[in-house]
Amino acid sequence: MRVVETLIPEVLLVEPSLYHDDRGLFTETFRADEYAKALGVTDPFVQDNHSRSTRDVLRGLHFQREHPQGKLVRVSRGHIFDVAVDVRPESPTFGQWIGAELDDSSLRQLWIPKGFAHGFCVLSDVADVHYKCTEYYQPGDEIGLRWDCETVGVEWPVQKPILSPKDSAFHGLNTLFHELESRTG
CATH number for position 54? 2.60.120.10
Q: Is residue 24 part of a domain?
A: no
Segment 109-120 mean pLDDT: 97
Sequence-distant (6+) residues with CB within 8 A of 97 are 8, 83, 84, 85, 86, 152, 153, 154
Sheet holding 109-112, edge to edge: 2-5, 12-15, 109-112, 71-77, 126-133, 47-54
Q: What is the domain count for the chain?
A: 1
Q: Is residue 103 part of a domain?
A: yes
- DSSP-H helix ranges across the chain: 32-39, 165-168, 173-184
pLDDT of residue 74: 98
How many Cβ atoms from other residues are within 10 Å of residue 35's Cβ? 21
User: In which domain, by residue range, is 139 found?
Assistant: 44-184
Q: Is residue 158 part of a domain?
A: yes
Q: Is residue 13 part of a domain?
A: no
Q: Is residue 8 part of a domain?
A: no
pLDDT of residue 151: 95
Q: Which residues are catalytic?
A: 62, 131
Residue 146: alpha-carbon gap to chain centroid: 15
Segment 43-50 mean pLDDT: 97
Q: Is residue 1 part of a domain?
A: no
Q: What is the pTM of this model?
A: 0.93
Q: Tens digits of per-residue pLDDT, 74-95?
A: 999 999 999 999 999 999 999 9
